[in-house]
Structure 1
Amino acid sequence: MAAIRHILCLNSGSSSIKFAVFALGPAGEEKLAEGAAERIGQSIGRLWLQRGQDPITDRQLVLSHHQNALEAVFAALTEARYATPDGVGHRIVSGGPRHQAHCLVDTQVLGDLRASLRFAPLHLPAEIAAIEAVQAVWPGIPQVACFDTAFHQSIPEVAARLPLPRNLWHEGVRKYGFHGLSYEYIVSRLPNHAAGKTIIAHLGNGASMAAVHNGQCRDTTMGLTPTGGLVMGTRSGDLDPGVLLYLMEEKGYNAAQLERLLNHLSGLLGISACSGDMQTLLGLRNDDAHAAQAIEMFAYSARKAIGGLMAVLGGLDRLVFTGGIGEHAAAIRWAICRPLRGLGLEIDPIANEGPEPCISVAHSPVEILVVPTNEDLMIARHCHRLLPTREQHR
């Protein structure tokens, strides 16, 4: 009988590391614990760990860098008597042109990730640091890279190719798409693995949508990097490239200044001039015109994307909301869907505020659903699938 495997899943950001521990085996899948190391690099950080809703540890400590933070995570798991994992799975936002399928990490893969930093400059440095930290603490444990770009490999070239000179395509300048682990999980939860025509809206601080036909991605809103597409918390989304030329020529912006502007100072934060957090903006919208405008532009951006992806699919059977905003912000779902009645999206105002997954009226031509995502579980599944057997590992 196949043995139960314990998998540690790591989702590393620039200032935080989210983690979860799963047990997978013949009897099924079980989440044993979850937690996070937060405020890495700040004067005081936070480490918390819980089993279900029961807190195990929650304390403040100095987390000066990712190596230090991961050592604290490993120590907390050991202190709570969790076994050393059989494998560690990492969410990797982009593997660039060389890696677009989930795989075991080896020296070559790690080197390729270091060479791909420009494809996800916000995310890859922290993700590489996490892999190196695990190698330092548990050098014999296999690690798996789970790529957010993998789900989007079914996008046809007509959608993936950018309207640029052809040599750039061969250098890897193309649409990759992101949030793939989330999309993959949602497809696994839908009837017949998303048979028919589906748009999945992963709306959070980072936001994107994917057009899915019979479980296969046909197009998505993000492009070469996670900066493009929808208006996001602090990212601009799509812009006329002439804006960048203007900023360079008239304002003297260099690459580092453009990167900071586009990824850290724009989106909801830039429009509202106060916050990139949707919950905060919803609380301010009645008294702050800029906060209200940021919300309006977010919903407008989402509606335009839905219309465009419906054209890609040639119609629509269902729209699925997921991600932090998609799952929890009923006001945003309403603002997105209500003006789309003419396209067959009939949202039910009462169901939209309730706990059930279906929020469309019974006669709506397009089914509208809210489905919580679970990227950690997808990482655990891929890690379990790709781990070598004990004989191979020896």
Structure 2
Amino acid sequence: MSGPTVFVLNTGSSSVKYRLLDASTGEAHADGIVERVGEPGSGVPDHAAAIERILADLDGPALDAVGHRVVHGGARFTEAVVIDADVEAAIEELAPLAPLHNPPALAGIRAARRALPGVPHVAVFDTAFHHTLPLAASTYAIDAELAARHDVRRYGFHGTSYRIVSERAAELLGRPLAELRMVVLHLGNGASAAAIDRGRSVDTSMGLTPLEGLVMGTRSGDLDPAIPLYLARHAGLDVDALDALLNRRSGLLGLARRSDMRDVVEAATGGDRAAGLALDVYLHRIRHYIGAYAAVLGGIDALVFTAGVGENSAPVRAGAVEGLSFLGIAVDAAANNAADDGARCISPADGPVAVLVVPTDEEWQIARETAAVTRR
């Protein structure tokens, strides 16, 4: 049975990804990407031109709604919302919390609303899934008045991925989501971990921004907060240089001069010492979070890998669980190494903790939430 047709837009600073799909089944009618938006010679001067190009080539059923991925919803947006002028203004106000993400998303929203004025537009926020974080997990131990004045708290990200992946994991196990304690690892170029207690996020590794937590392709993840101060005083790095260092020149790139995990694993396997160290640091951080979140949850029923690295890198999955048998976490080597791109269990049949690989589908989740909001 077909459902609403939703046009999903994921607008980045220099690209616009899109998918036209059935919100009920996830069936895609069209998808693609326009890249090099705003770059000289690209022929796509801005996001409005990119969306015009997409719509001119779009072939499929009539649209019922447009769903927009927005990274940061702050404390205000705890669920998807129909976009109006007030919502646009709020997304713009939140730009300092996600300067690389919210401004292009807003540009895409405004361009799409102008091009498609006859259908509802919905904002789906990466942060919304984590609004259930308890205060003990979301509060930073800094001056409380200063934190409140500037909205400093843990927000978390990758929420649309966590929502659909946790639901799919429960389906794969044949158990109600409401009785499962999961640690989910969203491992892509950006990476995070979440402790999900019976469907609710109770802790997550990204914080005020997507910089905190796991080692990523170009982001440092966790580090001593005095390091930027030290580098400012002794290496002469200003705020912009520190931002570039931690977000664009750290992580795997900073350690191994490679940001793609496939290249890092290949180099490490070939004996490259820098790549080997980068992989060790990456896996050490993941194990750190698995153990911490098992403690937060008071036990763990399932460990779930998702996103590009989590779904496709058997060496990373094996390394991430190495030494965790005391928690009941292990992988079956044959199952882990099997050529399979679907949802699957890779732990031993008698393992007390299910280790799963569950492909994410953030576009479908955005479509589902968009359809739900517009039906109200």
Residue pair 2:14, 2:37 contacting (<8 A) in 1 also: yes
Q: Once the 2 structures are TM-superposed, how far is the Cα of residue 311 of structure 1 from its aligned partner?
A: 1.1
Q: 1:94–1:120: 8 Å Cα contact kept in structure 2?
A: yes
Shift of 1:253: 2.0
Task: Work out which of the residue numbers 61, 67, 71 in structure 2 matches 1:93.
Answer: 71
Name which structure has the greater RCO, CA cutoff 8 Å, separation 6+: 2
Q: CA–CA distance in 2 between the matches of 1:124 and 1:358?
A: 36
* Amino acid in the other structure paired with 1:368: V
1:369 has 2:352 as partner: no
Letter in 2 for 1:150: A
Find the aligned partners of 1:10 and 1:166 in 2 and give their Cα distance. Answer: 37
Aligned residue identity for 2:34: A
Judged with a 3 Å threshold, the aligned counterparts in structure 2 of structure 1 residues 75 and 264 are, in CA distance, closer, same or farther, namely same
Aligned CA RMSD, in angstroms, stands at: 1.9
**Which structure shows the higher strand fraction?**
1
Whether contact under 8 Å (2:73, 2:128) holds in the other structure is no
**Structure 2 CA distance, aligned partners of 1:194 and 1:328?**
28
Q: Which residue of 2 aligns with 1:353?
A: 337
For structure 1, which segment, 13-22 or 114-123, has the greater mean C-alpha deviation from structure 2 after superposition?
Answer: 13-22
Flag as ranges the 4+ runs of structure 1 deviating above 6 A. Answer: none
TM-score by length of 2: 0.92
Aligned to 1:22: 21
User: What is the 5 A alignment of 1:297-376?
Assistant: 297-354=281-338, 355=340, 357-376=344-363
Give 2:69's aligned amino acid: R
Between the aligned partners of 2:63 and 2:240, the Cα distance in structure 1 is: 39
Separation in structure 2 between the aligned mates of residue 114 and residue 24 of structure 1, nearest angstrom = 28
Q: Which range moved further: 253-262 or 149-158?
A: 253-262
Letter in 2 for 1:382: E
Deviations 1:100-159 (A, max 9, x none): 321011101101111111211221111111101102212232210001111111110011
* Aligned position for 2:34: 37
Q: Which residue of 2 aligns with 1:384?
A: 371
Kept in 1, the 8 Å contact 2:345–2:355? The answer is yes
Aligned residues: 366
| Residue identity matched to 2:157 | F
Deviations 1:283-315, CA, capped at 9 Å, x for gaps:
222142212221111111101011111110111
3-state DSSP class of the match of 1:164?
Answer: coil
Question: Any idea what the Cα deviations from partners look like across 1:55-82, whole Å, max 9, x if unmatched?
Answer: xxxxxx63333222222211221xxx32
Map Cα deviations across residues 161-202 of structure 1 (whole Å, 9 max, x no partner): 110111134232100011000000012211312622110100
Once residues 26 and 230 of structure 2 are traced to their aligned partners in structure 1, the CA distance between those partners, rounded to angstroms, is 52
1:155 maps to which of 133, 140, 143: 133
Q: Which runs of 5+ in 1 are unaligned?
A: 45-60, 390-394
**Alignment check: 8 A CA contact 1:194 1:212 kept:** no
Structure-2 separation of matches of 1:388 and 1:361: 43
Instruction: Answer whether contact 2:22 2:28 (CA < 8 A) is retained.
Output: yes
Q: Which 5+ residue runs of structure 2 have no aligned equivalent?
A: none
Deviation of residue 378 (structure 1)? Answer: 0.7
Percent identity reads 41
Give the distance between the partners of 2:146 and 2:367, measured in 1 at CA. Answer: 35
CA deviation after TM superposition for structure 1 residue 99, in Å: 2.2
What letter corresponds to residue 37 of structure 2 in structure 1? I
Match of residue 53, structure 2, among 67, 72, 78: 72
Query: Which among 128, 148, 151 is matched to residue 106 of structure 2?
Result: 128
Q: Is the 8 A contact 1:346 1:365 kept in 2?
A: no
Contact kept? 2:220, 2:246, Cα under 8 Å: yes
What is the alpha-carbon distance in structure 2 between the residues aligned to residue 340 and residue 38 of structure 1?
Answer: 42
Counterpart-to-counterpart distance in 1, 2:219 and 2:318:
23
Amino acid at match of 1:76: D
Match of 2:200 in 1: 216
Could you tell me whether the CA contact under 8 Å between 1:187 and 1:194 is conserved in 2? Answer: no
Q: Does 1:283 align with 2:266?
A: yes
